[in-house]
Chain A
Amino acid sequence: MIAIYSKEMKQYFTTATGYIFLIVSLVSSSLVLSLTTIMQSEPSSDTSNYFTIVLILMMVLLPILTMRSFSDEKRTKTDQLLFTSPVRIFSLVFGKFLSALTMFIIYIALSLFSFIPLFAFVAEGASGPNVAMIIGNIIALILVGMCFIAIGIFISSLTENMFASAVITVATLFVLLLINGISSLSFLQGDGFAYVVRTVINWLSIFSRFDAFAFGYFDIGALIYYLSVSGIFIFLTERYFQAKRLS
């Protein structure tokens, strides 16, 4: 697993996808941060809009990290090397997952620098940024990002074409975003069947669990939820490759 992890990390920086992800993410998110806070006509230090926008940005940018994952191995037939080596398929999938997660966490760590001005220039009489909220949001962002990565890796295992893999991943994530809105539609507000549908949709909705963290609370249920969603997609990827040997 360490071998595949370090190979992936190296490849992020030899194939430029790592640089592209980091640069685009950092530039766009720091721009968003300044636009939503200190560059407002009435400068504020409220970061909640920032995190909502970054979350949506990540739906488009995280697939850059995962699009190559397995699709490129299939295209170049290097999957034959991986799957005939004495390594468990799970280790291969998990190694790739961890390397993408590492890149994402590097981005999060670097993006923290853009908060400095927020703390440095607190308007006189204002309360300054809410640290608990920022920390909560960052934890939530990492957890949701983890799910995005697991979903992205699963989708990349289905196709040989990395662009198809990226597009399908983005589309899937947007569908998940839309699901979030569906449960609040008026015709689903009744009891009985509507209640069942609403519960299922809420369960599927990755985004709805963001809220507690966003207000600075630590939500154990959501933590377990995000870890299980990531786990399910890693498991599905592993199962897919096991099954594919038979088909």
Chain B
Amino acid sequence: MIEINNLVRKFGNKYALDGVSFTVGKGEIVGFLGPNGAGKSTTMNIITGYLSPTSGSVSVDGIDVFSEPLKVKRLIGFLPEQPPLYIDMTVWEYLSFVFDLKGCDYNKRAHLEEICDLVKITDVKRRLIKNLSKGYKQRVGIASAIIGNPPVIIFDEPTVGLDPKQIIEIRTLLRSLAKNHTIILSTHILSEVQAVCDRIVVINEGKIIADQKTAKLSETLGQNNRFRVKIAGPSKEVSNLLKTIHSVTKVTQDGVREGDAFNFIVEYNGSVDIRKMMFRALADKGWPILAMEGVEISLEDLFVKLIENNLREDLK
């Protein structure tokens, strides 16, 4: 559906994108992951025709973005990082302006009402956009992106700045949109792509460093397990004991102290479940485990891993 070929974009002398290529299949929902300034927004702005690349090509449904921009723009719904809202309009006025601007063929009233229902903004549609909460503004932005039912939808950081409840709602909405649309979604939150996307494209400093199925990426990540455990007992001895357990690579104290209990972060290798061994060892000493939880891998860790993997492959 979307083919991106060796995209290069320079701002002055700085490369924002340095040879980015990937494809998105029809009906796929792809997570575009990277830290701030990695080139996510630049890529999205190029796909939607807002920016032109220094070199490289983008085609949507076989149509080249640069030779036939209007045709391609008709196929894409775009929600930029900051939703482009006219805050002096009511929600309904805004959506009907976007409808007219896109020159849609649908019955306007029915189509807009359907969209308001879908993104759950029907109860605020007569209100001025400037009086809405951030979550609602974001939804109005999403609504404007899906007006006209474009086959491709591009969302730039759709959950940034929202509270946890709103984030879950937006993710559910994205999942439901994925049934009929091809979606590219950018984010710098790893768990978000894992929750929503079929495939993950990771970008760093203008280069793609991973392009994998979500399940496969999780596998890569799974190799180095970590969890946080709270143990009541003398911190030094506990720490030393933990280190003696088979396949534990690293034990660090988390610093937070609660009564006589300490938090430890335990890292271990391999597929052995060390939790049982740990339980027995601690039980022998009479140091109870008060809490235990897995620690999610952070984006930084992911990068370190991916870059290491890439280096290893290069060496081969």
> Among the listed B52, B71, B80, which residue makes an inter-chain contact with A77, where contact means beta carbons less than 8 Å apart?
B80
The residue on B at minimum CB distance from A243 is B52
**CB <8 Å contact, A2 and B84:** no
Contacts of A10 in B (CB 8 A): 89, 93
**CB <8 Å contact, B97 and A84:** no
Within 8 A of B (CB), among A83-105: 83-88
Nearest chain A CB to B94's CB is how many angstroms away?
Answer: 9
**CB <8 Å contact, B50 and A87:** no
Nearest chain A CB to B101's CB is how many angstroms away?
Answer: 4
A211 within 8 A of B: no
**CB <8 Å contact, B102 and A86:** yes
Assembled-state Cα–Cα distance A81/B81 (Å): 11
Known: A85-B101, A86-B70. A14 touches B48 (CB 8 A): no
Within 8 A of A (CB), among B88-130: 88-89, 93, 97-98, 100-103
Assembled-state Cα–Cα distance A103/B218 (Å): 60
Contacts of A79 in B (CB 8 A): 84
| Chain B interface residue bracket vs A | 20 to 34
Contacts of B82 in A (CB 8 A): 77
Instruction: Return the CB mask of A2-35 against B: 1 if under 8 Å, else 0.
Output: 1110110011001100000000000000000000
B78 within 8 A of A: yes
> Among the listed B78, B86, B88, B100, which residue makes an inter-chain contact with A84, where contact means beta carbons less than 8 Å apart?
B78
A80 within 8 A of B: yes
Nearest chain A CB to B177's CB is how many angstroms away?
Answer: 18
Nearest chain A CB to B268's CB is how many angstroms away?
Answer: 47
B85 within 8 A of A: yes
Assembled-state Cα–Cα distance A79/B89 (Å): 16
| Chain A interface residue bracket vs B | 20 to 34
**CB <8 Å contact, B51 and A245:** yes
**CB <8 Å contact, A80 and B78:** yes
Nearest chain B CB to A221's CB is how many angstroms away?
Answer: 37
The residue on B at minimum CB distance from A82 is B101
B207 within 8 A of A: no
Contacts of B71 in A (CB 8 A): 86
Known: A11-B88, A85-B73. A80 touches B97 (CB 8 A): no
Central interface residue in B48, B82, B86, B88, by most chain A CB within 10 Å: B86
**CB <8 Å contact, B50 and A245:** yes
Assembled-state Cα–Cα distance A245/B82 (Å): 18
Instruction: Return the CB mask of A59-79 against B: 1 if under 8 Å, else 0.
Output: 000000000000000001111
**CB <8 Å contact, B84 and A77:** yes
Contacts of A3 in B (CB 8 A): 97, 100-101, 103
B307 within 8 A of A: no
Nearest chain A CB to B149's CB is how many angstroms away?
Answer: 14
A246 within 8 A of B: yes
B19 within 8 A of A: no
Name B residues whose Cβ lies closer than 8 Å to a Cβ of A.
45, 48-52, 70-71, 73-74, 76, 78, 80, 82, 84-89, 93, 97-98, 100-103, 144
Some 9 contacts from A to B, beta carbons below 8 A apart, are A11-B88, A76-B87, A80-B50, A82-B101, A84-B73, A85-B73, A86-B71, A87-B101, A88-B70
Given contacts A3-B101, A78-B85, 11 further A-B contacts (CB under 8 A): A3-B103, A10-B89, A10-B93, A14-B88, A76-B84, A77-B82, A77-B84, A78-B86, A83-B50, A84-B76, A85-B102
Q: Which 9 A-B pairs have the closest CB atoms?
A: A3-B100, A81-B84, A86-B73, A78-B84, A86-B74, A84-B48, A245-B52, A3-B101, A80-B80
